[in-house]
Amino acid sequence: MKSRQRTIRRLSAVVGAVVAALVVWVIAVPILGIDLTVLMAGQSQTVGVLSIVIVAALAALAAWGVLAILERAARRPGRVFLIIALVFGVLSLLAPVTSANSVGAGVVLCIMHLAVAATVTATLVGSARSRRAARTQNAQEGQLVS
């Protein structure tokens, strides 16, 4: 996979994460009428579209950054990234479980977290390259890689 194709695929992970989260929100809030409120800093706050877009995009960008680091440091970055993503995906479920104001909100937020995690993980793992492949490609492009 060429550098440009890899970048486009990774950008699609960011867009896909946002779309996945918004699809869950659209089904849960306007269609099913679930009130997505969470307790933050001792106050109830509604989880709105803007916060969903920002958090999903930031999570995907952070995952992209982790994968980029692993491609330079790990022998098998795709496998290591998958393990890290699974651990963080499971840990991310603690937030909605502990902060949702209702069972319905907790379930919806867990589904949202899983949808974003699955989208980002599947897309980024598929774009991972080995350290050897990165060296070869960078050498062909005239760059030095240690």
**Residue 37 falls inside a structural domain:** yes
Confidence at residue 146, expressed as pLDDT on a 0 to 100 scale: 47
Q: Write out the residue range of the structural domain in which residue 121 sits.
A: 3-139
**C-beta separation of 135 from 75 below 8 A:** no
Q: Answer yes or no: is pLDDT of 55 > 60.
A: yes
| pLDDT band, very low/low/confident/very high, at 39 (cuts 50, 70, 90) | very high
**81/76 Cα distance (integer angstroms):** 9
CA–CA gap between residue 40 and residue 8 (Å, rounded): 35
Q: Is residue 20 part of a domain?
A: yes
In this prediction, residue 15 carries a pLDDT of 98
Residue 32 lies in a domain: yes
Query: Domain total for the chain?
Result: 1
Confidence of residue 89 (pLDDT cuts 50, 70, 90): very high
Residue 63 tokens, joined: 């995952």
Name the pTM for this structure: 0.85
Burial category of 41 from C-beta neighbours within 10 Å (exposed 0-12, middle 13-18, buried 19 and up): exposed
> Is residue 145 in a domain?
no
- Is 146 within a domain? no
pLDDT tens per residue, range 91-145: 999 999 999 999 999 999 999 999 999 999 999 999 988 665 555 555 555 655 4
Supply the mean pLDDT for the chain: 90
Domain presence at residue 144? no
